């Protein structure tokens, strides 16, 4: 497989993932961004944990969809993320999501 073939494959996967996102975003209540992933979910809880002086975030989500082209199954019933980096949680409203038509 050439580098061009690999790039074409990744571009096709990214486009497919965007289309899937466009199709499912309306059924979720929250968007959660971490340093590694973007999630859509219907319930989210963020706790700041501190052990031995280092603070980190524990993010728990329910009924989640994960933006990741390499995951064969993007829907998950429960997700738990531990991170030392920023976490952004936004509540979606119907007017927040305006995607171009298919």
CA dihedral 14, 10, 44, 93 (to 10 degrees): -10
Looking at the chain, the whole-number percentage of residues with pLDDT higher than 70 is 91
The number of beta carbons lying within 10 Å of the beta carbon of residue 83 is 14
User: What confidence tens digit (pLDDT) does each residue in 60-94 have?
Assistant: 999 999 999 888 889 999 999 999 999 999 999 86
**pLDDT recorded at residue 69:** 86
- When pLDDT is averaged across residues 36-41 and rounded to a whole number, the result is 95
Looking at the chain, the whole-number percentage of residues with pLDDT higher than 90 is 68
In whole angstroms, how far apart are CA 46 and each of 11, 29, 92? 33, 15, 17
**pLDDT recorded at residue 54:** 86
The residue among 96 and 46 whose pLDDT is bigger is 46
Helix residue spans in the chain (DSSP H)? 3-24
């Amino acid at each position: 497989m050439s580098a061009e073939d690999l790039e074409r494959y990744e571009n096709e996967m990214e486009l497919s993932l965007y289309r899937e996102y466009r199709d499912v975003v309306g059924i979720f209540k929250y968007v959660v961004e971490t340093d590694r992933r973007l999630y859509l979910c219907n319930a989210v809880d963020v706790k700041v944990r501190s052990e031995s002086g280092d603070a980190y975030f524990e993010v728990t989500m329910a009924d989640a969809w994960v933006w990741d082209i390499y995951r064969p199954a993007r829907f998950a019933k429960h997700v738990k993320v531990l991170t030392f980096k920023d976490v952004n949680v936004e509540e979606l409203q119907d007017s927040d999501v305006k995607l171009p038509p298919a």
